[in-house]
Structure 1
Amino acid sequence: MIWIQTFLVSHRDVHRMKLDLHVHTFYSDDAVASPERLVIEAKNRGLDGIAVTDHNTTGAWKRAISAGKEHGIRVIRGEEVRVTHDGEEIGEVLVYFMDKEIKRGEIGDVLDKARQQGALVSVAHPFDYFRNRFKRVEEFKHDFDAVEAFNSRVVIPFFNQRALEFAKRNRLPVTAGSDAHCLNELGNAYTDAKARNFEELRRAIE
């Protein structure tokens, strides 16, 4: 199991949370686990919470939140949204603390819709040349609240290292997640956050 020390990390003597901030259910067309099974597995693996970030859909929210309440796992309403610019697909962003679904589309529109509902945006696996790297990350760096600096499905460590260096250079908070598409991947990476609840987590990212 891998975890990342981020700008959100706490010391051992204060409250903190272990959160996998990039998780997919079978509401994503390339993932296989139900929302309920993911929540139970999160508890089994010692996580405090997960962000449900299915591809361009929020269909799993209701089931995941219900299961989270039953099993004592916090669930962040999220989505991994594919974005374009000038007609070209340029990558994906992770949107957290949402109220309603955002459709894939022009990055400016996606960012505006995220801001309108008070959501936070982290650029997903920005330098993974094998899986939807973010092609214009420098151009839009000031529009991101955070950078996904460790994604455990990234197969070349250098790609994660570049993401971390990019975040540090631009003074952006970083997040980590497994990008789990099945139960076995859940918690392979997580964010160790100095926070006792989601409000404190939001403030840490902001």
Structure 2
Amino acid sequence: MQDNPAIAILVDSKPQNRTPEPAKVAGIADDFRIIIEAGIAPVSFNATIVRITGKIAFPESVGKLELYSTDPRANPSVTFNYLSSEKDLAQCVKLTQLLELALRSKSIASFLGSNEHRNKPMPTKDELQKLCKTTVRTFYHYHGGCTMGSVVDKNYRVYGVKGLRVIDGSTLLESPGTNPMATLLMLGRYQGLKILKHRKGASFNSPST
């Protein structure tokens, strides 16, 4: 099982320069391996802090998912092992450097409440590695816990369990994009139509009809 490591930086904004409809900005770098998102909006209605977040796509670090109960209401044990791969840690350093460059750019300066950080020296590699390890967070794009071929077949039916299908992000081997919601909604509708078609066909061909 995997999750994309993310780093979020909180910065103070200028309320007078805030747009009525908050803008959503996404930047893609390093051959689609780094994705940066920012909303020019406060984290709450009573704060001027805004969040700029970066995500590492295609992580090498692998976690594990374990079931300790047959009760479907019981939560599983999940360990993601964020940045356990040296390559992922190096990518996180590069991601954080890009976030720093974005914050120091003239394009972003008009939205920030203070520009003091622009005059400070860039953090060292060791400082950024420590930052990555202590502040890494989820991007909520969990995947790989129920992959096709290992847990479900090509029709998303769970092996060994009759009448159960899994159609969500856990069946994906990778989650490189900014948000897989639209893809999963499309996949769910497609598989739902296949299930309905199969049921109608089975009902039509049943000896009782």
TM-score, structure 1 as length reference:
0.21
Instruction: Answer 1 or 2: which has greater helix percent.
Output: 2
Q: RCO (CA 8 Å, sep 6+): is it higher in 1 or 2?
A: 1
Instruction: Answer 1 or 2: which has greater strand percent.
Output: 1
